[in-house]
Amino acid sequence: KAGVTQTPRYLIKTRGQQVTLSCSPISGHRSVSWYQQTPGQGLQFLFEYFSETQRNKGNFPGRFSGRQFSNSRSEMNVSTLELGDSALYLCASRTGEQETQYFGPGTRLLVL
Amino acid sequence: AQKVTQAQTEISVVEKEDVTLDCVYETRDTTYYLFWYKQPPSGELVFLIRRNSFDEQNEISGRYSWNFQKSTSSFNFTITASQVVDSAVYFCALSGRFRETSGSRLTFGEGTQLTVNP
């Protein structure tokens, strides 16, 4: 079974731009979660989607948003990028609540 | 609120040494799950083990073993006879029922950078 895939793997943007990251979960997994990893803040939860509905949201500003499609693929969007948004963005999928989350390779975003 | 503490920021050992990574957690949930993930330089988080709060039985998988002690809120990870390929950042994580909303999230510790030298 293929693992979680994320595209693109690397991205360079400038301040003020917006960016969309994509995540394809493991086949059969209906839950997708997003995490941000930075050297200063570590791994932080962004949001979780299940069956196209946002079920949980972390403590991030409204510039961070996401959605999930009927095939369980998910996208996250960051608008008006700031330098501090430079991070590794990790997507994880699982079959359901309380099940193990399996992570993708991440998207490394650099904001200049 | 949930919290995971990994007090060891960096550990350096010589190949074949045993090494233990510490993890202490805090939660008010009565049902919760503990995890260990490995993050090699490539960045992907690799799942190693999951433990639920009802099962305090220690587990061994090859050179890896885990010691879960609910009385001290600890979930420590030991690598026996370490190898260079074990070099990575290791994260302990906690998942519990999020009271205010449905669903759950992983709360991660700060991570421990393990370097195994030949």
Contact at CB, A56 and B47, closer than 8 angstroms: no
Mutate to test the interface with A, among B104, B108, B110, B112 (most CBs of A within 10 A): B104
Percent of chain A that is helix, strand, coil (3-state, to 5): 5, 55, 45
pLDDT of residue A87: 98
pLDDT of residue B105: 87
Tens of pLDDT, residue by residue over B23-76, are: 999 988 888 899 999 999 989 999 999 998 888 888 888 999 999 999 999 999
Contact at CB, A33 and B106, closer than 8 angstroms: yes
What average pLDDT score do residues A18-38 get? 96
Residues in chain B with CB shorter than 8 Å from the CB of A106 are 43-44
pLDDT of residue B102: 46
pLDDT of residue B69: 94
- Of the candidates B5, B66, B39, B19, which has an alpha carbon nearest to the alpha carbon of residue A106? B39
Residues in chain B with CB shorter than 8 Å from the CB of A100 are 35, 47, 50
Alpha-carbon separation of residue B100 from A80, B1, B97 (angstroms): 30, 11, 9
For residue A11, pLDDT beyond 70: yes
What average pLDDT score do residues A93-107 get? 90
Give the position of tokens 């002690």: B69
A11 vs B14: CA distance, rounded Å: 37
Per the DSSP assignment, residues forming a β-bridge with A89 are A36, A107
Q: What is the count of residue pairs from A and B with beta carbons less than 8 Å apart? A: 59
Tell me which chain B residue has its CA closest to the CA of residue A40.
B110
pLDDT of residue B88: 97
A66 at the B interface (CB within 8 A)?
A: no
A59 vs B80: CA distance, rounded Å: 38
Least confidently predicted of A42-51, B1-10, B71-80, B94-103: B94-103
What average pLDDT score do residues A44-52 get? 93
For residue B13, pLDDT beyond 70: yes
Least confidently predicted of A4-18, A52-66, B64-78, B91-105: B91-105
pLDDT of residue B99: 53
